[in-house]
Structure 1
Amino acid sequence: MHSLTTALESLIRLVSQVQPSAPGLRVYDVPFPLNDAFDALSWQAAQGVYPQFYWQQRSGDEEAAVLGAVADFSSLQQAQQFLRQYESHPDLRVWGLNAFEPQRGALFLPRLEWRRSAGAATLRLHLWSAVSLREDAGQARAFLAALVGMKPLPSLRLTPIDEQHRPERPEWERLIGQATRAIADQAFDKVVLARATDLRFSRPVSAAALMAASRRLNLNCYHFCMAFSPTRAFLGSSPERLWRRRGCALRTEALAGTVASHPDEHRAWQLGDWLMKDDKNQRENMLVVEDICQRLQQHTRALEVLPPQVLRLRKVQHLRRCIWTTLHRADDALCLLQLQPTAAVAGLPREQARRFIQRNEAFDREWYAGSAGYLSQQQSEFCVSLRSAKVTDRAVRLYAGAGIVRGSDPGLEWQEIENKAAGLRTLLQIAT
């Protein structure tokens, strides 16, 4: 833990400098050598300050663990307006979640930000005050002094008390029938319907331990965990990028069409080959591509759609088509409102599908099928918050959804959401 101790001592010296009794922003960076056994997630979980947000890019090249809030934002638009006041800090990052209904967010400028990019890491402290930087510096010193060292994460071996699906299978099959009839009546072309599975255990569940287990096994995914308090968190391991922006260069993707994966390489390849050739899944993917292109075309230059790929995950495989373009101007609020919710998590046409979901789904999606990540003036990146769970003390709610189009089979769609939920469900090592 020598790197952490040295970095924190450096930050305390920097923040102890004389600060003005005036509003403003100060950013202090110190290098963080990656030369010892430091796990940012475990260290973050040991702290008694909230909110906490952990994020790892799906390539694994970028990782962040942030603590405490010096400024909170209830929407991404508010966060963007805040960042635009500080043009001299283009890499100032706001982290957090956007809900399924994108006007609602839980985003914050952290007090402390540990960030790794490839093989280099930095510890960053933010001072910000609308009144007095001197006063905020005193609060920052107390914050740093209260930090503790890394602790082992608790076990996930849990004893279940209760399990309930919302909806249960008979209600799910009736709902699919209702949706396919609406599609036949041309109310919409596609709707994505979701299931929540509520699990209750005999003792509290560690969101950080669940995140660590998922990070270890669910490869090729974004990993995120927002801890609102010691007993309340939302986390997930999502394969899907909502968008990545570098300046005005924008990358997004259509991830739709699903088949099971398999531990045997040849069997997994056979399943993936079937997925590439299956008309229903290809049609579902192209509906998402066309919707994304239509939504972006007025705000971008030419759109380039790359050939389809099969993305293989631990429990499922997906069809993916990447979409690259250039924005007329860098605007993350515009990206959010145009792209979220995508046809892959809501349906087509989007408004008609959303109304069907609101009227008929058995639970409130809240953060599920929203997005998780960060924004700055310089760049931004958000993943779709899929393969996710809400942890509330001794309860875990798992989410999974399936795209319903003409010809969807209720039994196959049930199996699809079972496979998707298994990415996190199997990590809860339930004791018998």
Structure 2
Amino acid sequence: MIILDTGIVTIALPAIRDELGFTPSGLPWAMDAYMLALGGLVLAGGRAADLAGRRTALAVGVAVFTLASVACALAPAPWALVAGRAVQGAGAALAAPAALAVITDLFPAGPDRARAMGLFGGIGGVAGPTGVLLGGALSASSWRLIFLINLPIGAVLLVALLRMVPARGPRATGGADVAGAFAVTAGLSLLVYGTTQGAAHGWSGSRPLAALGVAALLIAVFVLRQFTAHAPLLPRALFASPRILLISAVFVLLGAALYGTFVTNALHLQNDRGLRPLVAAAVMVPLDLALLAGSRTGGRLIGKLGPVNVLVGGLAVQAAGLAWLAAALAPDGGLAVSFLLPGVVACTGLGTAIVGAFVVFTGLADGDTAGAISGLTVTTNQIGGAIGIAVTSTIIASAGAGTAGGGTAEALWTTAGLALAGALIAFPLRLRRR
């Protein structure tokens, strides 16, 4: 539900823009406010899950997320929707690491946990594009339904988890680094804002440079806090692990390519080809199925090739498919040749890479650091996604939609480069494993 609520807004973006009056540069914040709050606060959420108990954190997070969804559905203006999305992200930041940490509680290290993590990663990878389809179906009537649907889902989840997930005590003592959580959230928000401004207006202006400078300062403050705070959000030992630093960078690029691609595809089908939301969502169904097939294939290949090899290979296939899609894309071209075939190749590689990345990342967790590792997993993926959405949306708006080989193709070339960079960064993990 948490990841789906990122993708579910994608198809509805044009309708939200028209009804609430979003500007082109403000529209990405309908998605980014959620992703930045989730990515910036999820480290504090992971710590809270260890302090309060993982089932308790999961229940509170789902409740906040559900109530904020109702507020989004009732939003009368852009600011109200952005604020509601930020509160949604805060609830998700509490629930997401708790959900992943519960798996480490239920399954001891070994084959069972690897299979559970593979399933969890595969479902997470499929949830984003599935949200695109669901968003198209619901926004055909009203975009507000894409948020109201979370009310019955959240209610059922609360009842189910309280009955089915065993209650366990806290796994840690002490407090949480509130100042560090504020610094990283504000820093990452300014990072996305500065990136958007630079892509839209050029990098010579004072606004993007000032935003990026303050963002770098706040992120540096966050890192410093992790070495000086009494209860840091991330265990200090994590900063000394080259594997964790490398896979974190890979997750940022993976998230940027994932969400940037699906936003680009959704805008292309509606703006360039003139398809209605429901039709555009239906056209993307084969891409969803390819992502699911790739995740299932990746789960089977991990036992034979190892998760790092699966991750590198999946990213390479994704980059090749996105490059093909960018080269073949044309507003008046046939959907099968210029969109579906290359899109299926890219999504198959993406699904494979997602499973490999989750298994590599969560394989570094133990009982004491599972919450922190889980939070770092979601942080890197969501921050990468927010950057990918901001950059690709800005490229499309700046170059102009509907121009063959223009904004849409440039955005896809960008996501292909992100996927390729992820494969190159992940390759040293393979060497270290060997």
TM-score (norm 2): 0.27
TM-score of the two chains, using structure 1 as the length reference:
0.27
Would you tell me which structure has more strand in proportion to its own residues? 1
Higher Cα radius of gyration: 1
